[in-house]
Structure 1
Amino acid sequence: MANALFGFGNLIDLPTTVLSCGSQRSNLPVSNLADPDPQRPWVTAGTTRDWAAADFGTAQPIRLLGLFGALLTSSALVRWRVGNSTPLAEAVPILDCDFTAGGLDPRISFSRAGTATYLAADGLLKTAAVNVPRFAYRYDAATSAMVALGLQLEPVGANLVPWSQDLDKWGDPLGNTTVTVNVATAPDGTLTADRLASAVTGADRLRRWNVAIPNDTLSRVLSVWGHVDAGRYLNVGIAYNTGGTSKLSLATADFQTGTVVLSQGVNEGIGIEPWPGGWYRVWVPLANNGTGNTVATLDLRPFNHPNAGQAAGAVLVWGVQYEPGTVPGSAVPTNGTAATRAADVATLALASVPGWNPAACTLVCEFNPPGRPANPASNGGPVQIDRGDNGRRLQLRLSDGVGLRGLVQMDGDTYWAGSYAFTAGERVVAALAVANGDAALAAAGTLWGTVAAPVLSGLNRLWLGSEDYSGTIARVTLYAQRLTNAQAVARTGPDRTTAVGDVYDSGWVAAGVAPGYWATLRLLDAPVVGRYARVDISDPARATQTVNGQAPGDLITGRLWASGVIQPMRNISYPIKERPVPMDTKQRGKRSGAVSVDPGATYREISFGYEALGQEDARGPFKEFLRRIGVREQIVFIPEPGGAYQSTEAILGRQAESTPLTWAQFAQWSHSMTIEEDPALGA
């Protein structure tokens, strides 16, 4: 058996300790000693994840961390951190807009001069009215769930194809295809999907539309929704071959597997994505080459085999779109003429945000860009802070061929605080931290660069979807302080936290809470010294599991412990005795003599002895330990620290009985103890 140890002097009870937690409730995790209501646990209502942090005022030695009375499931995870450089309580933002909840902060001004489409929570493509914001979703084919993306923002867009839903209006240059209109339910829930079919075998077949374009080098993208029918393959192609050097790109999509199985010509970002109801949207981008081509030839070929010229086939198609860009924007329906989509404009006056200070701030944004801008002259970003123009600004900026960049601009002088090469469709979390002439860019849990930049003044506007940004924004958070580089990195990492355990960080580990004991302990390999301590708890199973009679839903995580330890050099003696002590109330009837019992809580009592304490222990730390704890101070006793039964054998209580240190004949010291568990800690 390993040497037993004691934890005592809970730092949570220090008069200088300041506690905070993510739930922002008044009943913070305190110990019985300091809590005026010892029956009150730390409860987080309506969530299965929370954190608590302690600021001890000054650096303290720490070896033992724990939670007692923690009603957690067997799959719960915890993360312990100790730090000195920055508080482990979350930095408090002055603005925090979560757009995945489906609403706008009333201080945000939003406008759009026309209607626009978006994928809604029910899995249907919907149309938002003029000046109505769109809160978009993504379909997760693996789980068949709709995932909230947040506020959808796009610049001015267009569909250059005049017939987006009526393929019977398209040309049939080979005379061997048929179109049956309005035979199936389309992604918008209407009966407008067409069947594109061909009965030929061993020859090409297609529907074609020609679009006049300038002799330029701009990228444009052709997209279409498709669904299996009698066949499963659709070849989608663009060709520029009307006066200059020919250029083409073709992709064959398999609507059964949701993959692109064949590409021909150049591939400048061919893609496919799942939609509800078995639909897929496939797209083919192609940049013109400036050699004299002024017509884009758009072709759709139905097959029952991925290679052209094979067996006959038929597929369902809907919503053909050809537009500037490298990835498709939201659907722009057409019915005889090309159509445009107006730009979304969303701004917030920072004068309405208490605490705003342009000299020191951190801007954090979580967003989903569908792709980078079409060319370097078409840049934008999910969020920007400026003075109403681009003369002075802070911007999370997307740049073609570079990715995400942190921009600080001051009256014509431009400073770049690093760059991050994200991938198309990635959920990006990025932070731009600025203060005192210094700026830093963090994204995806990594610091991508810093730059010495001027302190900006006069910034008074937050612009969402600045310039030519196209995508969604899940969340925007603004801090009235420059987060440290480490905090900015942590804030953009998987946990989305500003907490940095620069002294100790356990990472996410199993809580290991055993039913009936309800404790989780973290014994550090060696003592550390830190001013701040924090525990994070994640227990998703608690949403559906009852624990110790407590209904699912609330996270009941007990009381927090942080302390040093004493560990005598000699071990406790055998036997160690543990017994349950009931707190029943008994009463005998005066006339009948019958005894009634009112059952109460049951607590544990542990008795043991140190029969071979060394003189250096007995006269030194162990004697001081006994003097300090007396019969009132709380003790954590761990018979086998680090062992498999640490969480079940450990007990938090007070010394009930003890014998004095005695002088033995063999120059050794002995001492016996009894520790009673605090009944109020029973979960």
Structure 2
Amino acid sequence: MTGRARNVVIANNDFATKAATVLTSPTSFVAGMGLSNILNDRLKMVCRTIGSSVILDLDMGYPVPISLIMLLGHNFTAAARWRIRGARARSGAASDAGGYSFALSDTVYDTRSILVSGTARGGYSWTSTMLDHDLTSGTLPTGASFSRASTATYFDFTGTMRTAASGEARFDYDPVTKTARGLLIEAARTNLVTQSADFSTGWGATLLNITAGSGAAPDGSNAANKLTATAVNGQHAVARNITAAPNAAYSFSCFVKADGYSVVSLLMDKDAAFVDRLTAEFNVSTGTITSAAAASGSASGASASIISVGNGWYRCTIGGTLSSTAGTSVRCIVYVNGQASYTGDNTSGLLAWGTQLEAGSFPTSYIPTAGTTATRAADVPTMPTSALPSFNGSAGTLVVASSQYVAGSSTGQLVAAEIGDGTNNNVIQVGTQFGSANFQYLVQSGGVAQAVLLETSFTGEQRRAASWAQDNFAYSRNGASPLTDTSGAVPTVTTFSMGCRPSGTDQLNGWISRITYIASRVSNADLQTLTNPATSAATRAATLAVYAGTEAVQPITLGTGSKTVYVDDQNMRFYAGARVRLSIDSSNYIVGTVTSYDRPSRRLVVSIASVVGSGSAAAVTISREAADLAVWPAVEPFGLTYWGDFRWGGQIDLLGEGYQPPGVHMPGLANGDGQPIYARYLKIEVQDSSLSWLDIGRLVVAAAYQPTINMTWDWRIGWTDPSQRERARGGQIYVDGRKQWRVASLQLANVGRDELLSQVYELRRAVGVRKPFALILDPTDPANLHRLTLWGSIPDQTMDFSNPQFGDYRAALTVEEHS
């Protein structure tokens, strides 16, 4: 028998027939129904003793592995209890009428006291003091909420542009590398182009043929526009005038893919006058800016960018301010193959899609339009400070990994994270300084700055950490030596926001990949470790583990109900139904029965039956109550149903009718380890207070074989009733009743070749159809163990062994119960 507790068990009666066995009784056994009968294959050859108890003493001759102990052909009732002990030695012998009964020494097993005593504790409670959340996982931290009053686009893990529903957070991916970038947070923007994807509507073409539906766009739709240069000399372009105030910063962008030509020029000008204008040229085969952004007239702040979005598509952008004076419109032009004049070939051109004109010096995620302008609302993820683990108003640390489109904003802030009250008065903030490219750690209480730690702002992912306590502030980026401030108060705050302010403004315009909050002021050295990009995952985890939480011992309180305790010694053993005592001292304790025990975790659940005294303690003494096992644990309360547990009475039926389940005990099941015990001497004590004599028909003591792979599905067990039925002329049915027996069948599959031949094959040779053996279909079910255990033999001359495919060795087994 092995530790694979769910597998079928097969056991031959290896040792009982070889044992020097002695039966004793408080009185005597009946002549003619004596000791030798329990070793006879005929189960009705019983050994009968006068009195309600009996002891079996066995000497196997040398220590043997014992997996199964079984009594058959008995008259025990539901009141039957037994105690089983195994030992390697004995001490002395006492003669009596039945022979002798010896005392045990070097005991290795005792069902009454598998565990003598030990220590149990109430376990531990864990209080988390840290939130460490990876936003590239595609989830928000527990307790966080998210709002955005519109749809918005992002790239999924396949690199395809998708549209998130209103109020749905966007977990964005790099469309080229397919790498998760984290939570995308952007401010509100409006696309002023009313037909962003369709160049055939609202756009004026010059020496170009426009063909819609010419290929897959970045969103996967067949909506790309082919802009084909005609065979006429001149500039080849599409343009449209857009009502807008040009005396502000704008960004004009378009998704472009080479299709015969590789060069595209973008141009914005004021009021279509070609005086105040911004322009740049791009190569969408190489992904480069071939002519730098330039401003003419009174235009200023020219910028350009080209970003690959996969599958040969690039997003090309120009930006800047067209004029410092008022105007009525902005003209946007897309030049195919540059601004110079040339003669096309009516074939070559570019694929274009997704134009966007938005107020701002840099582009944001694409906002699709179809006939009118469209606005993407601001992303606002927040959570109350009450949702932060162990948040307190005196000290804390915030670590944020983020990246933003641009280093700073000339008109506002780019906030990576903030804990505040929704006003400017009480703030703990990590973000850019207002109207500046400096990054700051700002602490403000009551409208007064308490700490302002500044550094240069950067694009690309940065890891920043800020910690606070009274007169103790520090800030570090990417492992740099912390900036500190040793004077200032900690503000009273209520809301934590990611990528924006609690008021829902000053969005980061970028991604947050990880956010960490710690409810204490982390050391300066740990700030550097947590922000250093070179820190390994293991080192980071070890550093955070120091701050992860606090553990407290849970006391055990005496009282009724169910108690869960943890046993100190993993070698202690319990089984369901065992009685245990949990004692503070000799005057204060509780007694109950074991509901369950998980040995690896040492978690013991006890149903309390009685309470003596009162009190509580972090640790108690646990001991086994001196009580013997029920021979049959019940599935249902006794007598609940007519055909239920023990309605058969348990009496041996000399007329050959009724159900006589065996008494079965498996030490490995009781111990919880699935292992046999090794003992030379075995003492079995049985008592049934409801009887004045006891019968035992057969004793089985055996090692067992348990397959490494359990039997296949479709195992079967059922009753065979050989009774003869005859109907009389008058219609009455007469039954010649005969003893029923059970038949079980199963198949072992995928058993290894060596295992099949050395175990199952040899078992078949040893028992043939002559010798009985025990079959236990489910050893993990103690309440039904007697129902799923058969003492029987193979009913026919063959037992099938087969090898239906490579590596799959099989054996079919049928067992017919002996009666």
Alignment of 1:125 onto 2:161: yes
1:474 aligns with 2:513: yes
Partner residue in 1 for 2:222: 191
Q: Counterpart of 1:159 in structure 2: which amino acid?
A: N
User: Could you tell me how far apart the structure 2 residues matched to 1:154 and 1:453 are?
Assistant: 34
From 84, 106, 109, give the equivalent of 2:142. Answer: 106
Q: Deviations over 1:151-177 (max 9, x none)?
A: 11122111011110011124436x312
Distance of 2:496 and 2:476 partners within structure 1:
20
Question: For 1:432 and 1:289, how far apart are their aligned partners in 2?
Answer: 41
Which of these residues, 411, 424, 427, is aligned with residue 461 of structure 2?
A: 427
Q: Secondary structure at the match of 2:167?
A: coil
- When residues 225 and 445 of structure 1 are mapped into structure 2, their CA distance, relative to the original with a 3 A threshold, is same
Corresponding letter in the other structure for 2:235: D
Q: Over the residues paired in the alignment, what is the CA RMSD in angstroms?
A: 2.6
Task: Quickly say closer, same or farther: Cα 1:498–1:412, change in 2 above 3 A.
Answer: farther
Does 2:460 align with 1:418?
no
Q: Which amino acid aligns with 1:165?
A: A
- Which of 304, 311, 320 is the matching residue for 1:286? 320
Whole-angstrom CA distance in 1 between matches of 2:372 and 2:237:
22
- 1:494-573 correspondence runs (5 A): 494-496=533-535
Say which SS state the counterpart of residue 351 (structure 1) adopts: helix
Counterpart of 1:465?
499
The answer for the alignment partner of 1:89 in structure 2 is none
| 1:486/1:500 contact within 8 Å kept | no
CA distance in 2, matches of 1:480, 1:330: 35
Q: Could you say which residue in structure 1 is the equivalent of 2:422?
A: 388
Q: 1:228 aligns with which of 255, 258, 282?
A: 258
Distance in 2 (alpha carbons) for counterparts of 1:421 and 1:188: 36
What SS class does the counterpart of residue 174 from structure 2 fall into? Answer: strand
* Aligned equivalents of 1:478, 1:429: Cα separation in 2: 13
| 1:269–1:359 CA distance, 2 compared to 1 (3 A) | farther
| Mapped partners of 1:447, 1:195: distance in 2 | 54
Ranges in structure 2 where 5+ consecutive residues have no aligned partner: 1-127, 296-300, 541-819
* Pairwise CA distance, 1:240: 2.7
SS of 1:146's equivalent in the other structure is coil
Between 1:92-101 and 1:314-323, the stretch displaced more is 92-101
1:351 and 2:386 matched: yes
What are the within-5 Å matches in structure 2 for residues 669-680 of structure 1? none
Residue 177, structure 1, aligned to residue 212, structure 2:
no
2:281 matched to which residue of 1? 252
Q: In structure 1, the residue corresponding to 2:175 is in which secondary structure?
A: strand
Secondary structure in structure 1 of the residue aligned to 2:354: strand
- Identify the residue that residue 298 of structure 1 maps to in structure 2: 332
> Quick one: distance in 1 between partners of 2:272 and 2:349?
30
Q: Aligned equivalents of 2:454 and 2:302: distance in 1?
A: 22
Within 5 Å, which residues of 2 pair with 1:611-630? none
- CA apart distance, 1:232: 1.1
Deviation of 1:277 after TM superposition, in Å, equals 1.3
The 8 Å contact of residues 163 and 335 in structure 1, kept in 2 or not, is answered as yes
Question: 2:133 aligned to 97, 102, 119, which one?
Answer: 97
Amino acid at match of 2:494: N
Distance (whole Å) between structure 1 residues aligned to residue 157 and residue 512 of structure 2: 16
Once residues 223 and 125 of structure 1 are traced to their aligned partners in structure 2, the CA distance between those partners, rounded to angstroms, is 16
Q: Tell me the equivalent position of 1:151.
A: 183
Q: Residue by residue, what CA displacement relative to the aligned partner does 1:318-361 show, whole Å, maximum 9, x if unpaired?
A: 11011122221111100111110112221111112232123221
The question of whether the paired residues in 2 share the 8 Å contact of 1:201 and 1:309 is answered with: no
Q: Secondary structure at the match of 1:269?
A: strand
- Change in Cα spacing, 1:498 to 1:375, as seen in structure 2 (3 Å) is same
Q: TM-score, normalised by structure 2?
A: 0.46
1:301 to 1:383, Cα distance in 2 relative to 1, 3 A: same
Which of 450, 455, 459 matches 2:489?
Answer: 455
Residue 609 of structure 1: aligned partner:
none
Shift, 1:411, TM fit: 2.3
Asked if 2 retains the 8 angstrom alpha-carbon contact of 1:168 and 1:181, the reply is yes
Distance 1:429 1:269, change over 3 A: farther
Matched residues in 2 for 1:276 and 1:500: separation? Answer: 35
Quote how far apart the aligned CAs of 1:381 are.
Answer: 0.3
Moved more, 465-474 or 350-359: 350-359
What amino acid is aligned across from residue 409 of structure 1 in structure 2?
A: Q
CA distance in 1 between partners of 2:531 and 2:132 (Å): 15
1:448–1:165 CA distance, 2 compared to 1 (3 A): farther
1:617-651 deviation line (CA, Å, top 9, x unaligned): xxxxxxxxxxxxxxxxxxxxxxxxxxxxxxxxxxx
- TM-score (normalizing by structure 1): 0.55
Query: How far apart are residue 450 of structure 1 and its match?
Result: 3.0
CA contact (8 A) 2:293 2:318 kept: no
1:97/1:292 CA distance change after superposition, 3 Å: same
Instruction: Name the SS for the 2:372 alignment partner.
Output: coil
Measured in 1, the distance between the counterparts of 2:450 and 2:536 equals 27
Aligned residue in 2 for 1:366: 401
Deviation per CA, 1:558-579: give whole Å up to 9, x if none: xxxxxxxxxxxxxxxxxxxxxx
- Deviation string 1:58-89 (CA, Å, 9 cap, x unpaired) is xxxxxxxxxxxxxxxxxxxxxxxxxxxxxxxx
Cα deviation digits, residues 439-497 of structure 1 (max 9, x gap) = 22211222463335522232121111212211111011011222233322232111347
Q: Secondary structure at the match of 1:490?
A: helix
Letter of the 1:203 partner, please give it.
Answer: G
| Alignment partners' CA distance in 2, 1:494 and 1:326 | 30
Distance in 1 (CA, whole Å) between partners of 2:249 and 2:180 is 29
2:468 matches 1:439: no
Alignment partners' CA distance in 1, 2:259 and 2:306: 18
Is the contact made by 1:417 and 1:449 (CA closer than 8 Å) also made in structure 2? no
The equivalent position to 1:332 in structure 2, one of 367, 370, 373, is 367
Q: Percent identity between the aligned chains?
A: 26
Deviation at 1:207, TM superposition (A): 1.0
Is 1:268–2:297 an aligned residue pair? no
- Counterpart amino acid of residue 148 in structure 1: A
Moved more, 410-419 or 474-483: 410-419
Report whether the alignment pairs 1:212 with 2:243.
yes
Greater mean alpha carbon deviation, residues 378-387 or residues 480-489:
480-489
Which has the greater radius of gyration? 2
The unaligned stretches of length 5 or more in structure 1 are: 1-91, 502-683
* CA distances 1:593-628 after superposition (whole Å, capped 9, x unpaired): xxxxxxxxxxxxxxxxxxxxxxxxxxxxxxxxxxxx
Q: 1:461 to 1:300 in 2, by over 3 A?
A: same
Alignment deviations for residues 284-320 of structure 1 (CA, whole Å, 9 cap, x no partner): 11124322233211110001xx562245351001110
**Greater Cα offset, 194-203 or 268-277:** 194-203
Residues 401 and 464 of structure 2 are in contact (CA less than 8 Å); yes or no, is this contact kept in structure 1? Answer: yes
Contact 2:252/2:355 (<8 A) preserved:
yes
- Shift of the 172–307 alpha-carbon distance from structure 1 to 2, 3 Å rule, reads closer
- Structure 1: distance between partners of 2:385 and 2:406: 29
Q: CA deviation at 1:397?
A: 1.2
CA-CA distance at 1:105 after TM superposition: 2.0
Secondary structure of 2:221's match? Answer: coil
Counterpart CA distance in 1 for 2:539 and 2:370 is 56
Which whole-Å CA distance do the structure 1 matches of 2:485 and 2:272 have between them? 48
2:155 alignment partner AA: L
Contact 1:382 1:396 in 2 (8 A): yes
Provide closer, same or farther for how the CA distance between residues 338 and 391 of structure 1 changes in structure 2, counting only shifts above 3 A.
same
What is the aligned residue count?
A: 399
Q: Which amino acid aligns with 1:152?
A: L
Cα distance, 1:254 vs structure 2: 1.0
SS of 2:499's equivalent?
A: strand
CA distance in 2, matches of 1:430, 1:259: 31
